[in-house]
Structure 1
Amino acid sequence: MKPIKRIAIDREKCIGCLTCVSACIVAHDGDEPRNRVVISSNYKNSPIFCRNCDLPECVYTCMSGAMHKNLSTGYVDYDKEQCASCYMCIMACPYGVLKEDSRTKLEILKCDMCEHFEEGSQCVKKCPMGAITLEEVR
């Protein structure tokens, strides 16, 4: 399998400016962000992104096949046309990343790694502190 890239977070560098969240909103034409920044129990800014898990619980619990692991990219992809809106993927994600689209209440919002941009993930590109990077994993 070829190496894939995942978003990596350096919490020591994150200042909680929310530029990553704004970049996500802009990248998705004003839709809700697919990421967020929370404050951890030890008072550190903690950006939350889809981890595109090797063994994704969201995929295993998806009864309709809308969530699936793309073996060529290594990403967890979402097909809204197949989605049954059961929210099992939301409940199964151990990181609390997935959420419903608050406008439609019928779709799931998850990071798509900005595959529609030639330069890739906009949160990575726009982070002024370099706290969000892409790391290659095998």
Structure 2
Amino acid sequence: MLHQSSRMIAVPTRGTGFVEITGAVLNFVADSGVQEGLLTLLLRHTSAGLTITENADPDVLADLTDRLAVLAPRDPSLYRHGTEGPDDMPAHIRTLLTNVQLSIPVLEGRPVLGTWQGIYVVEHRARGSRREVAAHVIGS
């Protein structure tokens, strides 16, 4: 018999950078009781991202932040859209690069992540915000 569970995970951010949510996701899956199934995560925003990347060396996150800044610089002269400030359109571009949805298999009651993998919300705006991740797991 299939079982499913859903939860909103609130993620406060402090401005541009990565916020690891692996622990909150692991707790959600454990609380659901699902042992084998599929976990889906959706970040409900257009100026932040959701990704899986290395969680062992903080230099990885710093390098990724730096490269995203190069790929989508905060230069208002480059964009038409700037309704919410000079970091608005670059944040939307960075969201396309980091995505907003993840699907992760669940085995033995845990998301199947690699040894060095963590789940992150990536804040692309200069100021902090309260972000929400919709989590859903289905399985047996």
TM bucket normalised to smaller: under 0.3
Higher relative contact order (CA 8 A, sep 6+): 2
TM-score by length of 1: 0.28
Q: Which has the larger radius of gyration?
A: 2
TM-score by length of 2: 0.27
| Structure (1/2) with the larger strand percentage | 2
